[in-house]
C-alpha cells in the first residue's frame, strides 16, 4: 500500500503590502533596485505597522512582475523566509484598474446606480463593474490590522469586528468622517 505523504500547512495569509506611492515616483524607482529600496526604507520607517515584524532584520528584493491589465510592474520582497508583494495604492486589487479610474463609478454605486448605468457612463461592461465592486469586500483593499494597540491614533476608532493575529486580539480600523 502506498503511503500518502502529508505536510503541515499554514493558513494562507494576505501577503500583499499596499503602499501610498506617488505614481510618477513609483514608475521611476521600480526599475532601479537601489532607488526602490530607498523608497521602501522610507515607508518602513514611516509605517512600520504595515510590514512584518522582522523586516528590520533585513529583506531581499525578489522578482518584478508586470500586470497585463494595467502595465504596472510590482516587486516582491523576501523577509524572514516569506515573500510579500509590494503594490502601489494607485492600482486596484488584482490590477483590474487604476484607483482614480474606478473612483467615480464606485462613488455612484453608493447611490444604487445600476451596473448597466455605470457601463453606459464609464464604458467597460456591467459585469466588469459588478466584479470590481465585489473585490472591494475583500480585506486587502482598505486599511490594515493594527498589531500594536499603542499605535492607534486618537482620531481613529476601532471597529467592532475583532480578529486574531498570532493568537492575540487585533482590531480592524475605520477612519471617522
pLDDT tens across the length of the chain (177 residues): 444 444 444 455 668 898 999 999 999 999 999 999 999 999 999 988 889 888 888 999 999 999 998 899 999 999 988 999 999 999 988 888 898 989 999 999 989 999 999 999 999 999 999 988 887 766 543 445 555 666 666 665 555 556 677 777 766 555 444
Neighbouring C-beta atoms of residue 153, cutoff 10 Å:
8
Report the pLDDT value the prediction gives residue 96, as an integer from 0 to 100: 85
Report the pLDDT value the prediction gives residue 6, as an integer from 0 to 100: 42
CB-CB contact of 172 with 145 (8 Å): yes
Report the pLDDT value the prediction gives residue 94, as an integer from 0 to 100: 82
Alpha-carbon distances of 137 from 37, 69, 93, 162, 173, rounded to whole Å: 31, 21, 11, 17, 15
All cell numbers assigned to 176: 471617522
Alpha-carbon Rg of the chain, whole angstroms? 19
What are the φ/ψ torsions at residue 122 (nearest 5 degrees)? -105, -5
Axis-axis angle for helices 126-135, 99-109 (nearest 10): 90
What are the φ/ψ torsions at residue 31 (nearest 5 degrees)? -90, -10
Report the pLDDT value the prediction gives residue 155, as an integer from 0 to 100: 60
Distance CA 141, CA 176 (A): 17
User: What pTM did the predictor assign?
Assistant: 0.65
Alpha-carbon distances of 115 from 13, 73, 119, rounded to whole Å: 31, 29, 6
- The upper half-sphere exposure of residue 63, i.e. CA atoms within 13 Å in the direction of its Cβ, equals 2
Amino acid at each position: 500500500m502506498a503511503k500518502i505523504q502529508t505536510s503541515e500547512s499554514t493558513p494562507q495569509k494576505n501577503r500583499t503590502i499596499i503602499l501610498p506611492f506617488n505614481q510618477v515616483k513609483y514608475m521611476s524607482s521600480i526599475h532601479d533596485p537601489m532607488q526602490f529600496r530607498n523608497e521602501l526604507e522610507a515607508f518602513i520607517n514611516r509605517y512600520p505597522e504595515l510590514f512584518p515584524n522582522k523586516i528590520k532584520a533585513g529583506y531581499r528584493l525578489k522578482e518584478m512582475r508586470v500586470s497585463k491589465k494595467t502595465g504596472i510592474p510590482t516587486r516582491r520582497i523576501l523577509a524572514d523566509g516569506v515573500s510579500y508583494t509590494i503594490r502601489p495604492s494607485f492600482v486596484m486589487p488584482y490590477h483590474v484598474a487604476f484607483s482614480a479610474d474606478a473612483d467615480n463609478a464606485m462613488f455612484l454605486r453608493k447611490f444604487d446606480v445600476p451596473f448597466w448605468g455605470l457601463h453606459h457612463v464609464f464604458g467597460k461592461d456591467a459585469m466588469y463593474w459588478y466584479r470590481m465592486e465585489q473585490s472591494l469586500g475583500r480585506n486587502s483593499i482598505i486599511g490594515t490590522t493594527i498589531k500594536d494597540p499603542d499605535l492607534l491614533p486618537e482620531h481613529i476608532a476601532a471597529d467592532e469586528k475583532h480578529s486574531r493575529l498570532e493568537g492575540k486580539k487585533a482590531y480592524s480600523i475605520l477612519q471617522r468622517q
